[in-house]
Structure 1
Amino acid sequence: MAHFKPELLEKLIEVRGTSGDEGAIKDFILNYVNENKANWKSEVEVHHGEGFQDAIVLIFGKPRTAIFAHTDTIGFTVGYNNNLIKIGGPRTIDGMKLVGSDSQGEIETELMVIEDDEGNTTLKYVFDREIDRGTNLSFKPDFNLTDQHVQTPYLDNRLGVLNALTVCEDLENGAVVFSTYEEHGGGSVGFLGRFLYDNYKVRQALISDITWVTDGVQHDGGVAISMRDKAIPRRSFLNKIIALAKENKIKYQLEVESAGGSDGSMLQMTDLPFDWCFIGAPEDNVHSPTEKVYISDIEAMIELYKVLMKEI
């Protein structure tokens, strides 16, 4: 049985990392890898730094398939006159707590949602001083764990990162990619895919990300294998994944959506011949401070990734 590590998840969520500002989460992941790699089954090559921006690529053995897990989060940027500008697509709830830091120190503020008579919405912060222009703010961590579920900001995609790090423990042949900018339009997947293809001939990808609870995808239904969102993965690759989930008796559910995107859709837009599939646990209260995922679905996600990285 796979092992969900809530303590590591809580630490990941405490690290700030809105799109374009992933330096701290990059450092956290690199430190984790350096501290734990001696206990992993196989040796790992770590690629980062110049030419990788704030992304990281881990190489094990002779990789055939790569896991992509984005490290950035949604949030807000401080603009002019106490205004806030969205990073990605965060929920905006009046009074929600936001945190960050600027040249004057740590910040804990609240979001104020103002609607005018014509239905136009303005977002502002409430704080006892002016916050430096351009400061990034994110949801204040509030980690809640029960026997059944975990509820906290940023399960999307700290949970995808946790999954990828867990798979590293006994991975013999494979690549693990920690990408950036996913929540605000993508931007790193192209050069990361090119690095894998040119240097290792990798052309298969599993997208370790978190999806949504919908009419067709439910809590405790197992990990979601996405048959499509706005992008459509190649059916022959998808069929292999579904067959392996069945063969290994891993609880899963099939997702079919008309919208939404991920590192997978960004990879499909490159000129690289990658097969890819989004596979992730479903969450409720998407892009809010109270995202919720069932532990049984997290376990199924980790189990399926471990099987797939051995078999495809």
Structure 2
Amino acid sequence: MELLRTLCQIPAPAGNEAALTQFLLNYIQTASPGWQTQPTVLAGEQWQDCIILVFGQPRTAVFAHLDSIGFTVRYGRQLVRIGGPVLDEGIRLVGRDSQGEIDCTLGSDEETGQPTYEFTRDIDRGTELTYYCDFRETDTTVQSCYLDNRLGVWNALRLCETLQDGIIVFSCWEEHGGGSVAYLAKHIYETYGVRQALISDITWVTEGVHAGQGVAISLRDSLIPRRSYVERIRRIAEAAGIPHQLEVEGSGGSDAKELQHGAQPWDWCFIGAPEDNVHSPDEIVDKRDIASMLALYQELMRQL
């Protein structure tokens, strides 16, 4: 879990993913000689802060978003939300501006209820603040801010170790409306003919999806994937005996939104471990669900 701990500690709020992108590029350069297949790495200004890894003769692409929720400093100690963070007063926030390091707490405006910060000085407007990372590991769980979606990124990186044919995509902006997957998907479809996707992201513990009972295969959220594709995935999971749960939600979304709304005929399925305390500094995931998530992705990338 040390790789996951490191990933969670790197600030990468939506729109400012560059530090995490650079870490991944360094990691890929160092680790990839030990992978079964050496990928082609697509990165640089034309891809903004996204990364595409192409292995062998790809048939399926895995999308994992790099960015997290957070806050942007506005005026008069006001904060503007990035995505949908929990707004409990007293949460520890960190960042950096022209005056130095920032370690402050989340507050609330008494009149408007809008989020504010409490600090010894004014913070430069436009500065991004993120949750302070307190990574906790037990024999059965991991707990930290930003397991959504650093755990999805961790899953994709671990998948790279044994992947022979496939594409791994690290995308940006997912927590705040998307914006990168459309051009990434267009390039992948037009260059490699790939049009089926898996979304390596983290879902929620609910009354129907429980911690410790396996990775969740989503039948739908605010969007509905093509049923025949999802059924193929279900059959592979069942035949492999990998613990999994079926999720049905009427809200929420992921990088799949841009795939389904795009001009190319992409099939997609969201497959992720469930977490509790969503979008808070205390997100928690059962290690059994992490193990089943990676095992299912390995099986699917062999068979799809």
Partner of 1:265, secondary structure, is helix
1:195 to 178, 187, 206: 187
Provide the C-alpha distance between the structure 1 equivalents of 2:208 and 2:258, rounded to a whole number of angstroms: 25
Alignment of 1:131-142 (within 5 A): 131-142=123-134
Aligned residue for 1:121, secondary structure, equals coil
Gaps of 5+ in 1: 1-5
Tell me the SS of whatever aligns to 1:58.
strand
In 2: Cα distance, 1:79 partner to 1:272 partner? 38
Q: Deviations over 1:4-50 (max 9, x none)?
A: xx100000011110000000000011011000000000011000113
Which residue of the other structure, out of 107, 113, 116, is the alignment partner of 2:102? 107
What code does the residue aligned with 1:170 have?
A: T
Deviation at 1:130, TM superposition (A): 1.1
Q: Which residue of 2 aligns with 1:130?
A: 122
- Please give the alpha-carbon distance, in whole angstroms, between the structure 1 residues aligned to 2:110 and 2:201: 33
The letter of the residue matching 2:255 is: D
Map residues 1-312 of structure 1 onto 2, 5 A cutoff: 6-116=1-111, 120-312=112-304
Q: Whole-Å Cα distance in 2 between the matches of residues 50 and 288 of structure 1?
A: 32
1:3 corresponding residue in structure 2 = none
Give the 3-state SS of the residue equivalent to 1:170 in structure 2: coil
Whichever residue aligns with residue 304 of structure 1, its letter is L
| TM-score normalised per structure 2 | 0.99
Query: 1:98-154 deviations in whole A, cap 9, x for unaligned?
Result: 0110111111110012343xxx41211111111110000000000000011111000
Q: Identity over the aligned pairs, expressed in percent?
A: 53
Please state how far the C-alpha of 1:221 moved relative to its aligned partner: 1.2
TM-score normalised by structure 1 residue count: 0.97
The amino acid of 2:121's aligned partner reads R
After TM superposition, the structure 1 stretch with the greater mean CA deviation from structure 2, 136-145 or 121-130, is 121-130
Q: Which runs of 5+ in 2 are unaligned?
A: none
SS in 2 for 1:51: helix
Partner secondary structure for residue 4 of structure 2: helix
| Structure 2: distance between partners of 1:35 and 1:136 | 30
Secondary structure at the counterpart of residue 292 of structure 1: strand
Amino acid at match of 2:87: T
Structure 1 residues 160-180: Cα deviation after superposition (integer angstroms, max 9, x where no partner): 000000000010000000000
Aligned mates of 2:28, 2:155 — CA distance in 1: 14
Q: CA deviation at 1:71?
A: 0.1
* Number of aligned residue pairs: 304
Alignment partners' CA distance in 1, 2:194 and 2:45 = 21
Partner SS state of residue 263, structure 2: coil
User: Structure 1 residues 115, 214: CA separation in 2 closer, same or farther (over 3 Å shift)?
Assistant: farther
Output the CA distance in 1 between the equivalents of 2:262 and 2:7. Answer: 30
CA 115–129 in structure 1, closer or farther in 2 if over 3 Å, else same: closer
The one-letter code sitting in structure 1 at the alignment partner of 2:83 is G
SS of equivalent to 2:108: strand
Report deviation, 1:311.
0.4
Alpha-carbon RMSD: 0.7
